[in-house]
Structures are given as C-alpha cells and as structure tokens.
Amino acid sequence: MIIILSLVAALTFVICMVVMLISSILAKKTSMDREKNSPFECGFDPKGSARLPFSLRFFLIAVIFLIFDVEITLLLPIAPIISLCNIYSWIFTSVFFLIILLLGLYHEWNQGALEWTE
C-alpha cells in the first residue's frame, strides 16, 4: 500500500513538473518591447527618482475632497430619520450641522484653498 502511495505521489509530482515546464515554454513572449516589459505607472518613468516634487496644492484639494466626502456620508442619514425623532430637534440638528459645513466651506473659499491656479 505504501509503495502505491509513493508511486502516485511521484507520478503527481512528475505531471506537475511537466505541466509547469510546458506552460513556461508556451508563455514566453516573442517580442521584447521596453514599454511592454515595464510596469504601468500612469505615465511616470518607474526607473526614475522616487523623490520628485509633489504639488502641495493637489494634496490640499484631495484632503478637502475627503473631508467633504465624509460630511456627505454624515448628511445622508438625516432624511430617513425624520420620522424617528422629534421634528424640532431634527430641524435644529440638521440646520446646525449644515451651518457648520457652510461656514467651513466659506472659510476654505475665503482662504483660497479651493483655487487651483493662482
């Protein structure tokens, strides 16, 4: 019984090696092009320096977008909960939250954070 299991294991190993060898031979690329061999990096040269200057303005716009995105997710549950709570507390909370958001937007606009070009 052990001999049969050993033969089956050896045969399985040989079949796996043959399949891997055949797939390796068939998968060879015939054309060696620089663009096809290089990884896709959104137009940047992947072999260049990683310490390139980064636009701080782009980072600021991305952070502002992230903040407003989180604020929208906080605004979404306001409409469905109108039937679950007191209408006066709902209006007060909603208006208070919207005033805070609008004041933040006005401050960012006043500081020039939303201007892409100067």
Indicate whether 52 belongs to any domain: no
Indicate whether 117 belongs to any domain: yes
Q: What is the pTM of this model?
A: 0.48
Whether the CB-CB separation of 71 and 64 falls below 8 Å is answered with: no
Mean pLDDT over all residues of the chain? Answer: 81
Indicate whether 45 belongs to any domain: no
What is the pLDDT, as a whole number, of residue 75?
Answer: 85
Indicate whether 59 belongs to any domain: no
Tens digits of residue pLDDT in 88-118: 998 998 899 889 988 988 988 898 877 776 6
**Hey, how many other C-beta atoms are within 10 angstroms of the C-beta on 45?**
9
Write out the residue range of the structural domain in which residue 106 sits. Answer: 84-118
pLDDT of 40 above 60: yes
Indicate whether 90 belongs to any domain: yes
Indicate whether 103 belongs to any domain: yes
Indicate whether 94 belongs to any domain: yes
Domains: count for the chain: 1
Indicate whether 29 belongs to any domain: no
Average pLDDT on 44-68 reads 74
Q: Render 7-27 in DSSP notation, one character per residue.
A: HHHHHHHHHHHHHHHHHHHHT
Confidence of residue 39 (pLDDT cuts 50, 70, 90): low
